[in-house]
Amino acid sequence: MLAYKKEFLQNLYRTMVRIRLFEEKVGECFLGGELPGFVHLYIGEEAIATGLLSELNQDDYVASTHRGHGHCIAKGAKIKPMMAEIFGKSTGYCKGKGGSMHIADFSVGMLGANGVVGGGINLAVGAALAAKMKKSGQVAVTFFGDGGANRGTVHEGMNMAAIWKLPVIFVCEFNQYASTTPSSYGTSVPNLAVRAQGYNMPGVTVDGNDVFAVNEAAKKALEYVRAGNGPYMLEFKTYRIKGHYVGDPELYRSKQEVQDHFDKNDPLKNFAKVVLAKKWLSQKDMDAIYAEVAAEVKTAVDDARKDPYPTDSELFNDYYVEGGVN
């Protein structure tokens, strides 16, 4: 195992805890009847967004999924306007027009969560095409699940990115389920990374619950992609600890199965085990970060509750750039 700078480790932990506590709070608020819409939580998958997106520059692009809060946070979005958006308030990133499923912060290259499974894949391919045309050196990362992997758009995007050698990383978050459907039923191969072969790009399967493994894999992929070699596929094995959406009765799996995964393979616990054993961080270091993030999340929620809803006149704002609506 390589040594890491302390600040980097603290940042990894901060991001993972930020995602965890943010999501726990969102879940709580939803169950309390405070949130409109539907929310899909990223709990249990924090290591992927954190280990990977920590290697990106601010102007690199990310196209996300319906499970997008973690991607947003790890790309550098602020949790206050995120929380406000999920509450449907005018202070949210999308001024309340998008909500959880359409959360986005374009100022940090985050091209949006997506309500349509697979919807973001080719947005990333296109962003990578633009980067290549502009010779900007930017890369694009697109996320999809073990379920989303089966949409045609993924295959079209991979092939096109490969023939044009576009700087895009296809990231599969293999969390074992697509809604109620286990990956063992819905997906033709146990390791989706093998599909990369068919598109002539590297594809590796990595433990997505180990933020260090994710980070190492990310660095390799980025080096390859930034050098102009074309696209790369990363498959991260993980587990969706929470229901598909908050409120999911989860009739398709046992509570024991979930508990086992959480006990044995929680990315936060995994991180703590490593850094404590190697004495890279102390429990005190981590506790301080945890407390700081908890306070930050509390403020975000308190503010989101108080913030105003959009006014009626907002309906037709930020619509056609040139106006002209009847």
Partner 1 sequence: MREISFSEATLEAMSEEMERDSSVFVLGEDIARQGGIFGQFKGLPQKFGTERVLDTPISETSIVGAAVGAALAGMRPVADMHFADFIGVCMDEVFNQMAKVRFMFGGQCKVPMVLRAPDGIIRSAAAQHSQSVEAWFMHIPGVKVVIPSNPADAKGLLKAAIRSDDPVLYFEHKVLFPMKGPVPDGDHIVPIGKANVSRAGKDVTIVSYSLMMHRALEAAEKLATEGVQAEVIDLRTISPIDKETIFESVRKTKRLVIVHEAVKQGGVGAEISALVAEEMIDWLDAPIRRIGAPFVPVPFSPPLEQLVKISADNIVKTVKEICR
Ligand X SMILES: Cc1ncc(C[n+]2csc(CCOP(=O)(O)OP(=O)(O)O)c2C)c(N)n1
Q: Alpha-carbon Rg of the chain, whole angstroms?
A: 19
**The pair of three-digit structure tokens given for residue 109, joined into one six-digit string:** 């290259």
**The pair of three-digit structure tokens given for residue 205, joined into one six-digit string:** 């399967």
Report if residue 117 touches ligand X, rule: CB under 6 A. yes
Distances (CA, A) of 5 to 8, 31, 269: 5, 39, 20
Give the one entry of Mg ion, partner 1, ligand X, none that residue 88 binds, where binding means its C-beta sits below a cut-off of 5 to 8 angstroms depending on kind.
partner 1
Report if residue 266 touches Mg ion, rule: CB under 5 A. no
Residue 290 burial class via C-beta count within 10 angstroms: exposed 0-12, middle 13-18, buried 19 and up: middle
Report if residue 50 touches Mg ion, rule: CB under 5 A. no
Residue number, 263 or 312, with CB nearest to partner 1:
312
CB 219 within 8 A of CB 8: no
Scanning the chain, the segments in alpha helix (DSSP H) are 6-31, 46-53, 69-75, 79-86, 121-134, 152-163, 183-186, 194-197, 211-226, 255-265, 267-277, 283-306
CB 139 within 8 A of CB 56: yes
Report if residue 153 touches ligand X, rule: CB under 6 A. no
CB of 221 to partner 1, least distance (A): 25
Report if residue 191 touches partner 1, rule: CB under 8 A. no
Interface characters, 205-244, with ligand X (x: CB under 6 A): -----------------------------------x---x
CA-wise closest residue to 108 among 54, 171, 158, 43: 54
Using the rule CB under 8 A, give the single segment among 15-23, 43-51, 148-156, 255-263 that binds partner 1.
148-156
Q: Please pick, from the candidates 130, 180, 285, 296, the single residue that binds partner 1 as defined by CB under 8 A.
A: 180
Report if residue 146 touches Mg ion, rule: CB under 5 A. yes
Q: What residues between 298 and 317 interact with partner 1 by CB under 8 A?
A: 309-310, 312, 314-316
Neighbours of 122 (CB within 10 A): 20
Which residues contribute to the site for partner 1 (CB under 8 A)?
A: 36-38, 88-90, 94, 96-99, 101-102, 114-119, 147-148, 150-153, 178-181, 185-187, 251-252, 309-310, 312, 314-316, 319, 325-326
Which residues contribute to the site for ligand X (CB under 6 A)?
A: 66-67, 115-118, 144-148, 173, 175, 177-179, 240, 244
